[in-house]
Amino acid sequence: MGSLHEGHLSLIRESKKSCDVTIVSIFVNPTQFAPSEDFRSYPRNVEKDSALLIKEGVDYLFIPSVEEIYPKNFQTFVNVEIVTNKLEGEFRPTHFRGVATVVLILLNCVKPNFAFFGQKDAQQLMVIKQMIRDLKVDVKIVGCPIVRESDGLAMSSRNVYLLPKERKEAVVLYQSLELAKKLISSNERRVGIILSEMKELYSITTYTDLDYLKIVEAESFEIIDELIKGKDYFVLVACKIGKTRLIDNTLVSV
DSSP conformational letter for 220: T
Q: Which residues are tagged catalytic?
A: 8
* 3 state SS of 32: helix
Q: In whole angstroms, what is the distance from residue 138 CA to residue 111 CA?
A: 8
Q: What angle do CA 103, 52, 170 make, to 5 degrees?
A: 75
What lies within 8 Å, CB to CB, of 116 at 6+ separation is 11, 12, 14, 15, 142, 144
Which residues contact residue 41 at a Cβ distance below 8 angstroms, ignoring those fewer than 6 apart? none
Give the DSSP H/E element, type plus range, for residue 94.
none
